[in-house]
């Protein structure tokens, strides 16, 4: 085990079989005895991990409320096993569901608030659809932070340069500089092709729970028009869209985090 933010020890659970087997790092923070609030589940973004500011702040909120918090690293992220270049939406969704199943056994998780940041918003929307089929986990609400559903087909593919298309065809991936770290983002053909199979912006999205989207209008990565489009597809749900005029993609400033935590707490307290 290893400490991973907020003093919580990370454990590892196996996901997948044979060549697809990988060890996923999970940080489970149990609820206080008798606490009945929904458990908080953190779904991180592309190349982020569970030790990031928003994830740790969510865990601190859970501690203050006495409810449980569930965080994990996707394969190829943070301290989890597996290669990043093997990652796809389907693969990371499988891991998210496995972690929630593990929490159901370890913490008695039965009702959750999914808090998804960027790509984690896409994972959250897919997870809701899959959990609805199982009917063993209730969703109290979705908090979507600068959500990037269908980003591979909607934000990456239409903007590929000829050099990037050639790299995908010849090498199966291309690299793109990022302001968030020294290493470039890597986008694989596998990720893009799998993304087409996991699209959600193709019709009405039915989550069966309240949804709150928080979107920065100064976001250079996910245009705020994308959040508006997502809201249009959530036409059957109780949806609130909060636009933060000077907010960037990360929404990690104290005032941004305060809005995120207020929303998560409100959903956790819903009966």
Q: What is the pLDDT of residues 196-214, one digit of tens each?
A: 999 999 999 999 999 999 9
- pLDDT for 183: 86
Task: Tokens for 49, please give them.
Answer: 């991990």
CATH code linked to domain 2-149+205-268: 3.40.50.1820
Q: Tens of pLDDT along the chain (271 residues)?
A: 455 666 678 999 999 999 999 999 999 999 999 999 999 999 999 999 999 999 999 999 999 999 999 999 999 999 999 999 999 999 999 999 999 999 999 999 999 999 999 999 999 999 999 999 988 999 999 999 999 999 999 999 999 999 999 999 999 999 998 888 788 999 999 999 999 999 999 999 999 999 999 999 999 999 999 999 999 999 877 999 999 999 999 999 999 999 999 999 999 999 7
By CB atoms closer than 10 A (0-12, 13-18, 19+), residue 202 is exposed
| Cα–Cα dist 134/86, whole Å | 27
pTM passes above 0.85: yes
CA 156 distance to own-chain centroid: 18
CA 128 distance to own-chain centroid: 12
Per the DSSP assignment, residues forming a β-bridge with 3 are 9
Per the DSSP assignment, residues forming a β-bridge with 162 are none
Beta strands in the chain (DSSP E): 2-3, 9-15, 22-29, 39-43, 69-72, 111-117, 138-145, 173-176, 185-188, 211-216, 239-244
pLDDT tens-digit series, residues 46-68: 999 999 999 999 999 999 999 99
| Cα–Cα dist 110/138, whole Å | 6
- pLDDT for 2: 55
- pLDDT for 1: 45
> To which residue do tokens 């890597």 refer?
186
């Amino acid at each position: 085990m290893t400490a991973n933010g907020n003093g919580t020890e990370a454990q590892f659970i196996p996901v997948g079989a044979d060549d697809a087997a990988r060890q996923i790092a999970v940080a489970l923070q149990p609820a206080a005895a008798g606490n009945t609030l929904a458990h908080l589940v953190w779904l991180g973004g592309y190349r982020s991990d569970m030790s990031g500011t928003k994830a740790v702040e969510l865990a601190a909120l859970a501690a203050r409320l006495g409810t449980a918090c569930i965080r994990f690293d996707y394969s190829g992220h943070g301290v989890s096993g597996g290669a990043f270049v093997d990652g796809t939406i389907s693969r990371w969704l499988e891991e998210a569901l496995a972690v929630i199943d593990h929490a159901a056994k370890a913490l008695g998780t039965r009702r959750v608030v999914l808090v998804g940041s960027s790509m984690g918003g896409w994972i959250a929307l897919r997870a809701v659809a899959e959990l609805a089929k199982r009917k063993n986990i209730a969703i109290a609400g979705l908090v979507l932070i600068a959500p990037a559903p269908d980003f591979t087909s909607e934000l990456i593919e239409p903007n590929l340069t000829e050099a990037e298309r050639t790299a995908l065809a010849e090498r199966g991936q291309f690299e793109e500089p990022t302001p968030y770290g020294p290493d470039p983002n890597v986008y694989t053909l596998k990720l893009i092709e799998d993304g087409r199979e996991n699209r959600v912006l193709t019709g009405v999205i039915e989550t069966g729970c309240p949804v709150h989207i928080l979107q920065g209008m100064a976001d250079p990565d996910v245009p705020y028009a994308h959040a508006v489009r997502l809201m249009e597809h959530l036409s059957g749900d109780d949806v609130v869209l909060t636009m933060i005029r000077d907010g960037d993609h990360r929404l990690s400033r104290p005032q941004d985090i305060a809005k995120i935590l207020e929303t998560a707490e409100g959903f956790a307290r819903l009966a």
